[in-house]
Amino acid sequence: MTQVRKALIMGVDGQDGSYLADLLLSKEYEVIGWIPSAISVSYENIDHILDRLTIVEGDFQDQEGLFNLLEFHQPDELYNFAAPSSPSSSWEDLVYKSDVMVLGVARLLEAIRLKSPHTKFYQASSSELFGEPVEVPQNENTPFNPRNPYGIAKLYAHWLTVNYRKEYKLFTVSGILFNHESPRRGFQYVTRKISQGAVEIKLGLRDELLLGNLDAKRDWGYAKDYVEAMWLMLQQNDPDDYVIGTGKTHSVGEFCETAFNYLGLDYKDHVKVSKEFYRAEENKQLVADNTKAREQLNWEPEVSFLNLVHMMVENDYKLMQDLPEKSRLPGGGE
């Protein structure tokens, strides 16, 4: 009889954690989903699979609790998404967020080393490691140059992951992922702000949408495609790090144009630019060179930018139509 593989997903309630849980359940894994005990979380992304998950709560500042978690469950694979995921807000409450993103990963790696050394570990790194990139596009050999506390903390966690692999011979990998979106994206992100805002304007719930720099460009892909790459990293014979992205960039203005056009609207009639939403590092050219992932993982993104935007707009349109009239408030939220 084939032994059922067991995976532990830290931050199962988020966009990436929930899509990964879907994927692993489809592959007949036993999935344990970790959520923070000190923070209120939404189960919306995992409601459809909640009866198939084992949910555990914990604290990334609790070393003993992480020891007990790994010792009890002995997962074959562990995926870490348990960190604040907004670079622009990483200047706020910096000490706590840095503790979770930096020392939290150190505590987790120590728990694996001491309590479950056979566990394969995936660390969610970020294109924010490159910050102001020294070359375009960026690959696994591009020097890191982070420009915000989020990128700095992610860099520390990235190097911890690399060095635990080298020092202790653990199977630890980092996925250096570029921007990836979906209908499960939080409303605080510009892509979801656009898709929801376009729908609300179409439904007559607002007249305009305030955004920052429309010329800012990003390498945007589909989150469901990207969790497939994460899983593939842990199926290799040897652990390594991979850049994951589409290799193509689109501007915020293009995202707006695509979203509004899909609803028969012209974004120029409704989108207003506000300096309030400008970010200091908006002009960076972050774009992935995914050659290594294509050649070694046999991975390529499947969903195009156009289809991704349409998918997000369709989802928000359905959500807004399903809401009672009195609940259709502009802006949305989590």
* SS3 (DSSP) at 310: helix
- 302 belongs to the catalytic site: no
Type and span of the H or E element at 198: helix 190-202
Separation of alpha carbons 307 and 222, rounded Å: 9
Backbone angles phi, psi at 57, to 5 degrees: -115, 155
Annotated catalytic residue within 79, 116, 128, 182: 128
- 181 belongs to the catalytic site: no
Separation of alpha carbons 254 and 25, rounded Å: 35
- Dihedral, 15, 17, 22, 26 alpha carbons, nearest 10: 150
Q: Are 267 and 257 spatial neighbours (Cβ–Cβ below 8 Å)?
A: yes
- 86 belongs to the catalytic site: no
Separation of alpha carbons 83 and 122, rounded Å: 13
- Choose among 226, 241, 94: nearest CA to 153: 94
Annotated catalytic residue within 29, 79, 122, 150: 150
Annotated catalytic residue within 90, 125, 126, 174: 126
What residues act catalytically? Answer: 126, 128, 150
